Amino acid sequence: MIAWWGTAMLCYVTPKEHLGLPNRDDVKTGVITYKIAAHAADLAKGHPGAQAWDDALSDARFEFRWEDQFNLALDPETAREFHDETLPAEPAKTAHFCSMCGPKFCSMKISQQIRNEHGDGSTAVATDTDFDAEAVAGMAAKSEEFAASGNRVYLPLAD
């Protein structure tokens, strides 16, 4: 919150703050935590670069571009280490699933399959006899509004 309101400086704090001398890993944890706080503040302030970075990471995640995901992470080294703990083989860096859900239950893969089978949703709303005309018109209007706002789920907060 303080960064959002325009503080002049953010500081990092280690897990051992005032409990002991921090080691290298403690300092790294503190710096990464600082980066997360600074990035959250940039997002809250509507900084376009911060949102573009998040969008790029989300796109890389959805498209299974693992190297891009690692490189866009706040801590690329740790991102690679986390990935390689469960999927260490080199082919896993081109796999179209992650270790969490596996190949059968990956939400990204399922979403891509639905898009491939049924289109990307850019076509007009299909009418169904169970829907009344008002509901269909309302959905079409919301679709146009969403498209006009850039097809992004997360938009900057209004002033």
Q: Tens digit of pLDDT for each residue in 82-115?
A: 999 888 888 888 888 877 888 788 888 888 888 8
The stretches of 15-132 forming alpha helices (DSSP H) are 24-44, 48-62, 66-72, 76-86, 107-118
Q: What is the pLDDT of residue 79?
A: 93
- Say how far apart CA 11 and CA 81 lie, in whole Å: 26
| Domain enclosing residue 115, as ranges | 2-124
Name which of 64, 151, 152 is nearest 106 in CA terms: 64
Q: Is residue 39 part of a domain?
A: yes
Is 105 part of a structural domain of the chain? Answer: yes
Residue 121: name the closest of 130, 112, 129, 131 by CA: 112
Residues 6+ apart with CB under 8 A from 83: 66, 70, 92, 93, 98, 99
- Is residue 152, in this structure, part of any structural domain at all? no
Q: Give the list of residues 6+ apart from residue 78 with CB closer than 8 angstroms, or none.
A: 32
Instruction: Give a yes or no: residue 141 inside a domain.
Output: no
- For residue 40, being part of any structural domain is answered with yes
Q: Is residue 143 part of a domain?
A: no
d(CA 157, CA 57): 21
Residue ranges in the chain modelled with pLDDT below 70: 4, 121-131, 155, 159
* Number of structural domains in the chain: 1
**pLDDT, position 121:** 63
In a domain, 78, yes or no: yes
- pTM, two decimals, is 0.62
**AA letter at 84:** D
- Whether 148 is in a domain gets the answer no
